[in-house]
Chain A
Amino acid sequence: MKTLTNINDQEAQRLVDTYADTILRLSYTYLKCTQDAEDICQTVFLKLLTGDCHFDSPAQERAWILRTAANACKDELRTARRRKNTPLEAAAQRAAPEAPSGEVLAAVMALPENYRIAIYLHYYEGYAVQEIAQLLGQRPAAVSAHLSRGRVKLRKMLGGNDDESGF
């Protein structure tokens, strides 16, 4: 196991360049704010750099990063709920990348957590239902349902009809 003091500079820079924005987007999707993204990045990267992680392909590494970041976001949500004095609204006072705007994004962000995570991973990251299920530790049927219901809700919110075809 690597120690915290002999982390390879180039490897650290590669991870940040490759995945920091991905973690930012995923954590924004989970947490609805960007203030915690840097913390999540540190958690994920340190875990990879100090752990005994070996990946057969870049795709495998990316999936590990997303899965670990998703778990860190869930932990953050749980802990924030429990911490006596660290609510999400207080965290929002921290400096952080500006959250993007847009009607469609706002609608996605208004969806329940499971729906918007499934939509992010499917439509932005390009993962198939089965892959999302593996990544999140959920049943494929559940992921499929989240995507389907999310789409229906989005259409209603964005003024379309309830027809699911053509997506």
Chain B
Amino acid sequence: MTMNQDFDKTEYSKAMDSLQFSMADKQRIAARLCRGQEQPEEKPKDKGKLVRITAIAVAAALALSVGALATDVGKTASQAFAGLFGTEAAQTEIIDRIGYPIGASVSDNGVTITAEAVMGDAYHCAVIYSIVKEDGTSFEVGLSGSYLPLWFEEQSMSMGYVGGGHGSSYFYDADPTDNVIQYVDIMEYDGDITGRTATAKFENLLVWTEDGYQTLAEGTWKLKFDLAFEDASVSLPAGQQVALNEGVTATVDAITLSPVALRVDYTADAQVVWDENSTDGQVSAGDAAQMRLYLEDLTLTVNLKDGTVIDMTGSGGGITPEDGQTRCQKGDVFDQVIDLEQVVSVTIGDVTVPVNEG
């Protein structure tokens, strides 16, 4: 190091100079811009977060009729989604109506991954994959339980430019007596995904052990399939004024309800103030308070005719400061498929929006 008592800006500049995209990277970025439509792949998601306890409890109780080595090309959407959304008649009827069986498989290094089915709406999708070893043996995960401690070293799903997204993904075993495990990927996107073609990529299946992550199956799998599910979403009347905490008011810009998800877009009349001194990767107390104010504390419920209240207050979302206001979106996929005919209203904070009036 050439530094004496001062910060050596020459060394700093040299280090920064060396940080460059390769020519191939630049050509790819330019080509993508010229194509206009295509955006970078969605970022890999944390495979370790287990966020759908209710859904997986159902998954544990169910036994899919999946034989060894079966790739389940003939599965209906409701069969594929049974482990996620249940098998009640009312549910399966809706799933088979709006879901789309895929049955696309790809094999590498003795392991086959099949995209079983996809379901969603304009902004959400849930994809069920099955994973099976071609030699008929089971994956030696070594742990029991519904959620499996598995991980793809790399996983992505791209579908062209749809803005940002958030979601969850996890592995489960719908039938511990067979050699098939399931992987579900649930995403909400900023943009409309209806009718797009998705490309899913997976690399190296890992398992968490006491000694850390071990490779369970090495390989690269790439699948392409159409998001050909029926978008059964409806737009509810918007424009309502909703009171957030601390005197902040939000105007509801859009409410999108479907059998599988709810999303609410709203604009707060104050601009989020982020903590400039917070450390990367950690949420400071100030930022946490802002997220509570603009996103987390806003009550969201879907109210059904039979009195059931589906609480979506814990949904994910996004916050974007803009010209003294804050644009927000909040929403998630339900733990069960709902019949829109059975929805009485949607509650957003202190406002209740009627559905199916009359």
* Chain A residues with a Cβ under 8 A of chain B: 3-7, 9, 12-13, 15-17, 20-21, 24-25, 28, 31-32, 34-39, 41-42, 45-46, 49, 74-75, 77-79, 81-91, 93-94, 97, 99-105, 107-108, 112-114, 119-120, 123-124, 151, 154-155, 158-161, 163, 166-167
Contacts and interface: CB of A to CB of B under 8 A. Distances in A.
Contacts of B212: none
B3 interface: yes
Contacts of A42: 29, 32-33, 39-40
B34 A87 contact: no
Interface residues of B, number: 63
A2 to B, nearest CB: 9
Contact of B36 (A7, A32, A82): A7
A167 B3 CA distance: 11
B9 interface: yes
A41 B29 contact: yes
Contacts, number: 194
A121 B288 CA distance: 28
A85 B12 contact: no
A32 B30 CA distance: 24
Given A155-B5, A160-B5, A161-B5, A100 B16 contact: yes
A17 to B, nearest CB: 7
B6 interface: yes
B44 interface: yes
Given A91-B43, A160-B3, A78 B316 contact: no
B46 A124 contact: no
A102 B19 contact: no
Contacts of B168: 84-85
B23 to A, nearest CB: 10
A83 B281 CA distance: 12
Contacts of B319: 78, 82
A4 B37 contact: yes
B29 A20 contact: yes
B123 to A, nearest CB: 15
Given A97-B22, A108-B12, A155 B6 contact: yes
A25 B18 CA distance: 10
Given A5-B36, A94-B154, A77 B280 contact: yes
15 contacts: A9-B30, A24-B19, A42-B32, A78-B274, A82-B166, A82-B317, A83-B165, A83-B316, A86-B43, A86-B165, A88-B281, A104-B7, A107-B7, A113-B276, A151-B6
B34 A104 contact: no
B21 to A, nearest CB: 5
